Structure 1
Amino acid sequence: MKVTVFIPTYNSERYLSDILDAISAQKVDFEFDILIYDSESSDRTHQILDDYAQKLTNLKWKEIKKATFSHGRTRQEAALEATGDVIVYLTDDAMPATKHWLRHMVAPFSISDRVAGVVGRQIPRSHCVPMLKHEIQYVFDVEQGVPDAITLHQREPEETTGVFTKKTFYSDVNSAVKRDFLINTIGYADVPYSEDQQFGRDIIDAGYIKVYSGVGAVIHSNDVELKHYKNRLFDEVYNMRKLSGKTEKLPFSFVMKQILVTSWRDGKKIMAEKNYSFKTKLYWLYTNPKYIIAKWQGLYLGHKVDLNDRKSYLKYSLERKEEHQV
């Protein structure tokens, strides 16, 4: 068996060296290579990739045009070029947490031929905004499974198809899929956003198994600036609405209640956090509620904006505000 690790990059200098070091240090009993597509980075990404390509004989990278990048299409194109039997997808800010990460991401495919995809655990970075930290911990340590085991998700016959649930949840921050399955059975849709969530829904709806690997962990949390966070959440909700075909507006009173409840709950957790200094606690008590407000603003707008209102979409979308984002 051979495995290909694919990473799309764009202005990735902050974490890229550490990620490549962590991948190259993996302890496995199979062959693997690294494939990288860079979308015209303007920072030191190219220099880092050139340096590592000289050191690592199993690393290949190429530049693609920003205008041609698509979350779904680019990952599907990478599958066509990949030489591995299994493709492991990472984002350019997700670092393997252990030297056994790659082995754990690939191992579940031996359970059954019906295993179509593997989603790995995410551990928030130490500097992560408390609100995001708590959300990541809930999704990956509670909702999807437990940290030290694997959990199988499969739709029951009586369940409704086409619905996004915790079973269909999928994240290309840290995932794995058989190359043959992507090419010949179910591939990534050519969509601008939420390609992973659609893929997760498609494989569950088709009766396949999604595995959550609590042991295949990466260190990851989005370093989104406060000024952009509302727009990021807008994109997530807006595009999930487009994929599901469902529209459900959030009452303003509900939004206000969630802001107050979450701020109070997070505040108690911040004060109880043993790894925070008193100064850090004061900082997060002041800053964290701003992220909560931005989150619910984005969710509210994402549910409210008409899917045919192109002007409002362009106004609120972070994907369209930036030249490129991976």
Structure 2
Amino acid sequence: MSVSVIIPIYNSQTFLNDLFGALNKVRFDDNDEVLLIDNGSTDTSADICLANVTNYPNLYKYYRYVDKAGSYAARNFAVNKAKGRILVFTDSDTKPVSNWIQGIKSSISEGCVIAGKISLEIVEHNIWEYYDFMAHLNSEKEFLNSNVATANMAVLKEDFVKVGFFEDRFSGGDYEWSTRAVSKGLKINYCPDIMVSHPTRKTFEQIMNKECRIAYGVGNHYDNLQRHIGELVIIFFLKIFKFDTNYRYSKYFYLKNFSIKEIFYFNVKYLYVRIGQLKSAIKGYRHIDPRIINLK
């Protein structure tokens, strides 16, 4: 069965050389394709992509999609372009293992969604990396909650069509799609050998952007469901005072030998994260252009 790998790209120049370095070692078959969907990059992402298209014209296909900002809109656009029977989703900052595609082909079946392993790389061993490791992209934990992340996901195209396109939201569309997939009778299978590596976020600013992006997507979702904005505000306002979460993270950091000073600093900055989430959820509900508020 042929494969269409779908990768949304937005200002990803920092990661693309590693991505292509890994992809160029992956074993693809003749009818496979990798769709690179540039969602309006303003850096050198397009140049890096087009250089690889030139070197591997039968594998890579580059599209510039700017009708709507957001990785899920870009993925939906790519699904309509995809020729493969298997749809494979990953991100521009991942590094797949060499047997990635062959593992998917040997594991995929009708009515099955593959949730591959996402191996988070801790490099600097700072407190924000460990927070990211604990809070985001735990593929095994998400599988246990019947969720699959588009950082490493595969499904037959006919099954994807049965479930429907990703919800038109800026972030979190994979989890909403997972809920619909399960309700349609699809089974999510966790496959640890089908693996991609993913860098952890290393700074407060990177974590803030990630959390605000998620909250913005939740705001999109609430408006799409025509739920009242007051309900959204209450939920995110109460999150600010959810101190049991702070305690859980603080205990985890203490066990990782972070100092009391570092943990205190994290909790102060985490308050700003929670306030940022509230503001971003409201902006998402109102569908303010995410590029204007520098979400990526």
Matches of 2:58 and 2:73 in 1, distance apart? 24
Contact 1:26 1:99 in 2 (8 A): yes
Alignment of 1:230-309 (within 5 A): 231-242=212-223, 247=231, 249-250=234-235, 255-258=240-243, 261-273=244-256, 285=263, 288-290=266-268, 292-298=270-276, 305=282
| CA deviations over 1:132-160 (Å, ceiling 9, x no partner) | 211237x4344525xxxxxxxxxxxxxxx
Map residues 151-300 of structure 1 onto 2, 5 A cutoff. Answer: 166-167=145-146, 169-183=147-161, 185-189=162-166, 191-193=168-170, 194-221=172-199, 223=201, 225=206, 228-229=209-210, 231-242=212-223, 247=231, 249-250=234-235, 255-258=240-243, 261-273=244-256, 285=263, 288-290=266-268, 292-298=270-276
Are the counterparts in 2 of residues 52 and 59 from structure 1 also a CA contact under 8 Å? no
- In structure 1, what is the equivalent of residue 107 of structure 2? 108
Alignment of 1:321 onto 2:293: yes
Q: What aligned pairs does 1:47-196 form with structure 2 within 5 A after superposition?
A: 47-96=47-96, 98-110=97-109, 113-115=110-112, 117-126=113-122, 127=124, 129-136=129-136, 139-145=138-144, 166-167=145-146, 169-183=147-161, 185-189=162-166, 191-193=168-170, 194-196=172-174
User: In 2, distance between residues paired with 1:209 and 1:86?
Assistant: 16
Determine the C-alpha separation between the residues in 1 that align with 2:275 and 2:193: 34
- Cα deviation for residue 268 of structure 1 reads 4.2
Aligned Cα root-mean-square deviation (Å): 3.5
- Structure 2: where are the runs of 5+ without partners? none
Q: Helix, strand or coil: the match of 2:192? A: strand
CA separation in 1, counterparts of 2:118 and 2:87? 18
TM-score using structure 1 length: 0.71
Q: Which residue of 1 aligns with 2:22?
A: 22
Q: Tell me how far apart the structure 1 counterparts of residues 247 and 132 of structure 2 sit (CA, whole Å).
A: 15
Amino acid at match of 2:117: R
Unaligned runs of 5+ in 1: 146-165
SS in structure 2 of the partner of residue 7 of structure 1: strand
Q: Following the alignment from structure 1 to structure 2, what is the Cα–Cα distance between the partners of residues 71 and 241?
A: 18
Partner-residue secondary structure (3-state), 2:169: coil
Encode CA deviations 1:201-260: one digit per residue, 9 max, x unaligned.
Answer: 2211112212222222222256453553553242143234346666473496764242xx
Q: 1:286 to 1:220 in 2, by over 3 A?
A: farther
Percentage of identical aligned residues: 18
CA distance in 2, matches of 1:197, 1:79: 18
Pick closer, same or farther for the CA change 1:219–1:240 going to 2, 3 Å.
farther
